[in-house]
């Protein structure tokens, strides 16, 4: 996981509609950049629906929400349409951004150790600096926690 106070790594990734997004597109705005393991799984759906439900409050506070996973553009499109997400999901099938942000880590599940995306959320300020970094977040609590972090930013 990257440390608070560091410059957020630049990236360009396609969204659920195949439109390319770069971090620099959001300079001048606060960005909630959240990494999650997989579309349409219980925890990831709960987390994304939380961001959806609080989205008007994020917008009110001048923040953009971007979700990132290894899933394809088509998977993101289906996930977003199924749940009515008003925010952008970015597809990182090559895992370049996932690795740059330090969220590809060892995970233990049912006694087995595997590599995977550790649910992590960053709050990036208007200048592209990480001002809040939360690792191993709880899916249901993460959106509310990030709204609180915005109030303190």
- Would you name the residues annotated as active-site residues? 44
Beta bridge partners of 67: 34, 89
Question: What is the distance between the alpha carbons of residues 38 and 34, in angstroms, rounded to a whole number?
Answer: 12
Nearest to 122 by CA among 83, 91, 95, 153: 153
Q: Check: CB of residue 68 under 8 Å from CB of residue 93.
A: no
């Amino acid at each position: 996981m990257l440390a608070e106070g560091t410059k957020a790594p630049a990236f360009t990734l396609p969204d659920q509609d195949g439109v390319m997004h770069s971090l620099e597109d959001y300079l001048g705005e606060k960005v909630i950049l959240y990494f999650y393991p997989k579309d349409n799984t219980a925890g990831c759906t709960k987390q994304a629906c939380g961001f959806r439900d609080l989205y008007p409050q994020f917008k009110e506070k001048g923040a953009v929400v971007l979700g990132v996973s290894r899933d394809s553009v088509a998977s993101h499109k289906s996930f977003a349409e199924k749940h009515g997400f008003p925010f952008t999901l970015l597809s990182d099938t090559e895992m370049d951004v996932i690795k740059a942000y330090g969220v590809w880590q060892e995970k233990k599940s049912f006694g087995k150790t595997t590599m995977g995306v550790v649910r992590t959320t960053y709050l990036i300020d208007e200048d592209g600096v990480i001002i809040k970094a939360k690792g191993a977040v709880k899916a249901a609590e993460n959106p509310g926690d990030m709204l609180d972090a915005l109030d303190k930013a």
